[in-house]
């Protein structure tokens, strides 16, 4: 179907299009007259989730924060929030609202009065996140400006209260779970400590704070305090000056045969012999002390060897004691961490921070948000005109009429003539145009 054919159809049905457009305009005027004006008040909330938690110091990652904020926008209209609004205003005690609910039940509604009112609050509420800001905007609409303002503030307060109660309830549940886990771990820790103590008593093994047993500590002490053995430990005690003393004695014996007792050479040799004799005595005393030290070193070496054999003999028992001590250490750390987490969640359960804060109060709306009268009339005219166009095309397609040469065109069958229409009606043309073999003949 070509555009010229559609234009001919619309021109032929122009009266229908105009009629439906007028009907649409009248309907828009009636709607503008009887539609009540609706006012919308807005209240804002600051999302504090970008800050660190005052108890745990944790912050939400950016992607998790986006998901969380999207969920909060939907939770504003959640029944748990809207029921709080109904309870805040006490609407369940209103006789007029009870009567309206009875009429709704008669019409097929199945929800109770409180849920029915909460659903109405949900339909009147709209929540959005303001772009590039941590602000959540809550809008509430009503036919009365003051009711719209009070409703926006009530929904905001109900949302914050529900968020706080949800946070507290979740934290209390987690605190109880961690407390139960801590009690379980304490029982396991007591069992592990008893098992470790019993093993140490049965095998006479005592582990110190660094998991080193007493015998190994004793071995380390012996190894660090044992002196080095002298190189000539088994050599006999001989004084280095004894040879010189023997030479002086020989010289003194030869001199006495030819010299007197008071001869100066005899006196000098006697003095030299006395000095060498004293030196020999000192050297022999040192040699005897070294001999005693060698004996002590030999005794210490024997003790070290005996202690080494003792430590090696109980190596397997010590390893088992260390394993038991490791179990005790791990359980102690688990108990400490679990109790710490339980304490953190207990603090959160008593917290008064919901992660949201109020940003002022809603203002009374001055202008309605419903469309104006002329906008409704123009919308009705446009809708009626579109409906008229569609109706005209459908009627023409149902009952096709010849309104131009294009309507007679068929595949393989050419149009051989056309009668023009004059102001006085149809008349025979003076010239008949025909086509035969692709030529026009008069």
% of the chain at pLDDT higher than 70: 66
Task: Specify the pLDDT at position 400.
Answer: 74
Check residue 264 and give its pLDDT.
Answer: 75
pLDDT of residue 223 exceeding 70, the answer is no
Residues 139-189 pLDDT 10s: 999 888 898 999 999 999 999 999 899 989 999 999 999 999 999 999 999
Is pLDDT of 438 > 50?
A: no
125 DSSP β-pair partners: 140
Average pLDDT over every residue of 79-106: 90
What pLDDT does 342 receive?
Answer: 92
Burial class for 251, CB neighbours closer than 10 Å (0-12, 13-18, 19+): middle
Mean pLDDT confidence for 275-284: 72
Q: Does residue 57 surpass a pLDDT of 70? A: no
Higher per-residue confidence, 306 vs 267: 267
pLDDT band for position 302 (50/70/90)?
low
Tell which wins on pLDDT, 147 or 283. Answer: 147
Percentage of residues in the chain with pLDDT exceeding 90? Answer: 19
pLDDT confidence bin for 191, thresholds 50/70/90: very high
Residues 415/68, Cβ–Cβ less than 8 Å: no
Most confident of 27-41, 52-66, 94-108, 219-233: 94-108
Lowest mean pLDDT among 22-31, 43-52, 327-336: 43-52
Q: 234 or 172, which is more confident?
A: 172
Q: How many CB atoms lie within 10 A of CB 246?
A: 12
pLDDT at residue 189 in the model: 92
pLDDT at 364: 87
What mean pLDDT comes out for the span 192-210? 78
């Amino acid at each position: 179907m070509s555009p010229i054919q559609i234009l001919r159809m619309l021109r032929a049905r122009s009266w229908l299009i105009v009629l439906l457009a007028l009907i649409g305009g009248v309907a828009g005027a009636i709607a503008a007259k009887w539609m009540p004006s609706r006012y919308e008040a807005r209240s804002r909330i600051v999302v504090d989730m970008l800050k660190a938690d005052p108890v745990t110091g944790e912050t939400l990652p950016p992607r998790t924060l986006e998901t969380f904020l999207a969920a909060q926008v939907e939770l504003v209209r959640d029944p748990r929030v809207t029921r709080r609004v109904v309870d805040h205003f006490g609407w369940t005690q209103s006789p007029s609202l009870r009567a309206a609910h009875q009429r709704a039940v008669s019409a097929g509604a199945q929800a109770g009065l409180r849920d029915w009112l909460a659903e109405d609050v949900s339909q009147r509420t709209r929540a959005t996140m303001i772009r590039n800001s941590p602000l959540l905007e809550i809008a509430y609409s009503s036919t009365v400006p003051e009711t719209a303002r009070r409703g926006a503030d009530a929904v905001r307060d109900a949302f914050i209260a529900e968020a706080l109660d949800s946070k507290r309830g979740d934290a209390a549940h987690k605190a109880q779970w961690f407390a139960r886990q801590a009690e379980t771990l304490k029982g396991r820790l007591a069992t592990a400590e008893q098992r470790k103590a019993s093993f140490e008593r049965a095998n006479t093994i005592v582990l110190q704070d660094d998991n080193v047993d007493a015998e190994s500590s004793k071995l380390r002490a012996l190894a660090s305090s044992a002196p080095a053995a002298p190189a000539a430990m088994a050599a006999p005690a001989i004084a280095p000056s004894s040879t010189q003393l023997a030479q002086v004695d020989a010289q003194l014996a030869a001199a006495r045969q030819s010299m007197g007792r008071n001869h100066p050479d005899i006196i000098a040799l006697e003095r030299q012999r006395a000095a060498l004799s004293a030196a020999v005595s000192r050297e022999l005393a040192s040699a005897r002390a070294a001999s005693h030290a060698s004996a002590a070193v030999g005794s210490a070496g024997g003790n070290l060897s005996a202690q080494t054999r003792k430590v090696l003999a109980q190596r397997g028992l010590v390893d088992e004691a260390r394993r038991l001590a490791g179990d005790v250490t791990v359980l102690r750390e688990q108990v400490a961490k679990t109790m710490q987490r339980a304490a953190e969640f207990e603090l959160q359960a008593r917290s008064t921070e919901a992660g949201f804060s109020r940003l002022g109060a809603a203002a009374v709306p001055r202008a309605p948000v419903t469309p104006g009268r002329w906008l409704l009339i123009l919308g009705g005219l446009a809708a009626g005109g579109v409906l008229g166009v569609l109706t005209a095309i459908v009627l023409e397609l149902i009952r096709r009429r010849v309104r131009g040469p294009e309507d007679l065109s068929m595949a393989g069958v050419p149009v051989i003539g056309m009668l023009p229409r004059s102001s006085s009606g149809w008349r025979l043309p003076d010239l008949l145009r025909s086509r035969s073999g692709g030529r026009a003949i008069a």
